[in-house]
Amino acid sequence: MHFSRVVIASRYPVVLLGLNFLLEAERDFKVVARCNDAASCFEAVRGLAPDIAILDMSMPDIFEQATIDVGNSATPAARLVFLATSVEDRDLAMLAATGAYGVVLHDEEPETLIQTLRQVADGQKMLPPPACEEALSRAQTAMSEKYLATLTERERQIMNLVSEGLSNKEIGRRLKVADGTIKVHLHHIFRKLEISNRTVLATLAVSHAGPGGSPSS
């Protein structure tokens, strides 16, 4: 019998144990790794090549790391399913941009999660309506116009380096400027793009990357 190999990741032990118990009770799923942080999660995904990775969005840096790995084709086979307390329309568009296959809310019934995972295993994308292709396309087009029109060359450089997962200090070292200067640049970038954090910035950089890996212009 065919079964889907699954990596599960959450910062909460009770969530990990609950997911593990739920999936191991089903004959068509096999948990191959349980992780409690983003780094170990994607190390497991890269090393074990599971069919599905279930990622709890409550984990610090999980969304940013997913964006980087998918953008760099580091996890081409794994289908990402995110667990969330709630998801705004904009977040859904950004999740779709990372290549997510599904989103399941924490208060859903266990049967809903299992059904979603089975559909994902069959290759279906189980994202709520606001993250449909048309909504994502509109969000990306609007942001692309704003991005290309307002960011300076240095700001685009910084955006690219953020998408690579570099810290302010590492970016400053790469560009030979003080990390405080990078912080100021990021403040300006956030204001221009009307975003609030580097996770969204990294997602935008990846979603607008051209064939060469840098944002298209």
Half-sphere exposure of 58 (CA within 13 A, CB side): 16
User: What would the mean pLDDT of 124-152 be, rounded to a whole number?
Assistant: 63
How far apart (Å, rounded) are the C-alpha atoms in residues 55 and 90?
18
User: What would the mean pLDDT of 76-92 be, rounded to a whole number?
Assistant: 75
Above pLDDT 90, what percent of the chain?
36
- For residue 4, the cross-strand partners are 29
Q: What is the CATH number of domain 4-131?
A: 3.40.50.2300
Instruction: Flag whether pLDDT at 50 surpasses 60.
Output: yes
pLDDT of residue 139: 53
Domain boundaries for CATH 3.40.50.2300 within the chain: 4-131
Instruction: Flag whether pLDDT at 69 surpasses 60.
Output: yes
From 36-40, 103-107, 150-154, 193-197, the region with the lowest mean pLDDT:
193-197
| Cα radius of gyration rounded to whole Å, the chain | 18
End-to-end Cα distance, the chain: 49
From 8-22, 66-80, 108-122, 135-149, the region with the lowest mean pLDDT:
135-149
Name which of 82, 83, 126, 87 is nearest 106 in CA terms.
83
How far apart (Å, rounded) are the C-alpha atoms in residues 37 and 173?
27
Residue owning tokens 């983003």: 38
User: What would the mean pLDDT of 43-54 be, rounded to a whole number?
Assistant: 91
Residue 1 binned pLDDT confidence (cut-offs 50, 70, 90): low
State residue 56 phi and psi, 5-degree precision: -80, 120
Domain boundaries for CATH 1.10.10.10 within the chain: 139-207
Q: Which two tokens stand for residue 14?
A: 């009770």
Residue 212 binned pLDDT confidence (cut-offs 50, 70, 90): very low
Match domain 139-207 to its CATH number in 3.30.365.10, 1.10.10.10, 3.40.50.970, 1.10.287.990: 1.10.10.10
pLDDT of residue 32: 96
Model's pTM, two decimal places? 0.60
From 9-23, 124-138, 140-154, 192-206, the region with the lowest mean pLDDT:
124-138
| pLDDT 10s digits, 8-44 | 999 999 999 999 999 999 999 999 999 999 889 989 9
**If you average pLDDT over every residue of the chain, what do you get?**
80
| pLDDT 10s digits, 161-199 | 998 889 899 999 999 999 899 999 998 888 887 777 787
pLDDT of residue 217: 46
